[in-house]
Amino acid sequence: MELPFRNLYRHGFLRAALCSPIVALADPAENARRSLAMAQQAARAGAAVALFPELGLTGYSIEDLLLQAAILDAAEEAIRHVAEHSAGLDCLIILGAPLRQGGGVFNCAVLLQRGRILGVVPKSILPNYREFYEKRQIAPAAAATADRIEVAGQIAPFGTDLLFVAEDLRDAILHVEICEDLWTPCPPSSRAAVAGATVLCNLSGSPITVGKAEERQVLCDAQSRRCIAAYLYTAAGLGESTTDLAWDGQLSAFEYGEKLGASERFADAPQMLLVDIDVERLAQERRRVGSFRDALAPGSFRRIGFRVHPPARELPLLRIIPRFPFVPDRPERLDQDCYETWNIQVAGLMTRLSATGLQRLVIGVSGGLDSTQALIVAARTMDRLGLPRSNILAVTMPGFATGEATRANAWALMRGLGVDAREVDIRPLAERMLRDLGHPGPPHYDVTFENVQAGLRTDYLFRLANHCGGLVVGTGDLSELALGWCTYGVGDQMSHYNVNAGLPKTLIQHIIRWVIAQGIYDATVAEVLRRILATEISPELVPPDATGAIQSTQAVIGPYELQDFHLHHVLRWGFGPGKIAFLAEAAWADPARGSWPPGIPESERRAYDLPAIKHWLRVFLRRFFGQSQFKRSAMPNGPKISAAGALSPRGDWRAPSDAGAEAWLAALEREVP
């Protein structure tokens, strides 16, 4: 059965429900009814997994009552009730209950689906300090006398070595541990993750004290990062005994360090947190990170199969997909990213100058975003090295289509920064070269017409660097390199050192705004930077048309905001076209859904429907995979900036220059309606 395009399970997601019902203390029958009702609610919401708190069928805080035969019998009967009444339910239910095995009572997670008990996992580590005295009633997992257990008339696997493998959802593999297991130096989930588990579930009692909620969050976050996994955590809540303790019912979920969601704490009603886990992303990252595979996982695991049976209807993501994966939407995080990006660029250029023994920089300045960013980085580099800014030879080189506004901005910026500012009109040389080539000249505006101008500019910069003993600073950014929107051998592709090589276009404007806000340069320069930010992106190689419209970069290669989205998901995660289109629609179809990075005005908050996404994704795939790798294979040095990756053939991206895009384009047509 093929799922609809807008069904999250089709694209490698798993929906899980984290549940915190109100506990009926020492009343397993009532807790079974309440848990079953929540599991049914989770299933209606499309969840494949429903996770409940530790000892949720009895209450965690009943202490010595855990050794009463009546409670243990009632707990087993409660499991029987849930099994019988969930026979038609696809959702995998994970309940907490005390169970007898051999000579002990074990604190267990019981996994049921469609009336069948798939497995039972006992708690490994029992806290016995401060308010905890679990060893008084409970036996640790190591005390088990067999690897199977009889529960409610069924025989099920028993142990901490159980992995629950979804047979109809690739990469969805679950492991369960219980509360204190996570607080130890070597949690059971670490071994399970190395053995293949991508979704780590924790049933927890965990009474609340001041500061403990943050401690739980830090542990779950860290374990999800360390294990390249999702970590789901459910704590006991209302209904537990407050004789000496209190409970907050905290539910939280993390995926590889990304917080998927958290519930209200101290709630007066049952709580359910629905989260969508990208298990494909986790598996892709593990394939990429060789050191994860090298980790040792002593012992073997038993693999228990189950089927998700995803609903056949449209099931869009609840999860918010960031529109700008290179640009955080939280102001404090954006400020941190801008600070680090700026200093990476400056430090890289400083080191290269020091290593070469040179003291001069040469840079072409157009009045556009990229050359502006490179120039202000160069100026800061000179300040840090204690060299005069006049050691920067900045040249603006107007051509056939250079606008007066951009030329004026280039001059104002160069003067404001106090660099050695120069101008070279390349038109006479360009006209001569076009004649020598037999080119008819205007109005024949082809690629030769454009690249004659670009090539002359670059040639001048390199010869100027030879003449003055300087280093040519590149200006082309990561997005241009990805799309091949640069001319081989010229300034946006070739230089002695390219400070912008790892910088995506969508982040540049935020870096410039950050530089303004930090007061790194004076008010005159800040005003010029604001004017440059307001200028439309254009190579200015072809004169305006009859209507006065200037040459538009984004009209040819697509909106940078959308193409940077595609780039991130190809470069960072290696996703296929179908999934990228699904994510892009989730991010961009509704401008009111989710937050926007600071500094993007309402007037620029655009939406893209699926046909537009598919069109520009086709352009991206053709240009990235099929047309431009040869340019990246010969790119100069430059610092990596984003954790998502860079395109240097010496670093994150190594690909043949003669490969084609056919496989990606065929997948796009096959997978996206």
Given the residues 19, 54, 450, 631, select the one marked as catalytic.
54
Say if residue 331 is preceded by a cis peptide, omega within 30 of 0. Answer: no
Given the residues 91, 108, 123, 177, select the one marked as catalytic.
123
Residues 6+ apart with CB under 8 A from 73: none
- 220: enclosing H helix or E strand: helix 212-226
Residues 6+ apart with CB under 8 A from 69: none
The Cα–Cα gap between 166 and 359 comes to 61
Say if residues 198 and 206 touch (Cβ distance below 8 Å). Answer: no
Residues 6+ apart with CB under 8 A from 547: none
179 catalytically annotated: yes
Token pair 């157009």: residue: 366
54 catalytically annotated: yes
Given the residues 179, 201, 227, 338, select the one marked as catalytic.
179
User: Angle formed by the axes of helices 560-571 and 505-518, to 10°?
Assistant: 110
123 catalytically annotated: yes
Cα end-to-end distance, the chain, whole Å: 17
**Nearest Cα residue to 13 out of 226, 277, 268:** 277
The Cα–Cα gap between 281 and 569 comes to 10
The Cα–Cα gap between 656 and 92 comes to 45
Longest dimension (CA), the chain: 100
Q: Residue 361: helix, strand or coil by DSSP?
A: strand
> What is the sign, positive or negative, of the torsion defined by CA atoms of 72, 74, 80, 85?
negative
The Cα–Cα gap between 608 and 559 comes to 10
Question: Residue 512: beta bridge partners?
Answer: none
DSSP letter at 320?
P
Residues taking part in catalysis: 54, 123, 179
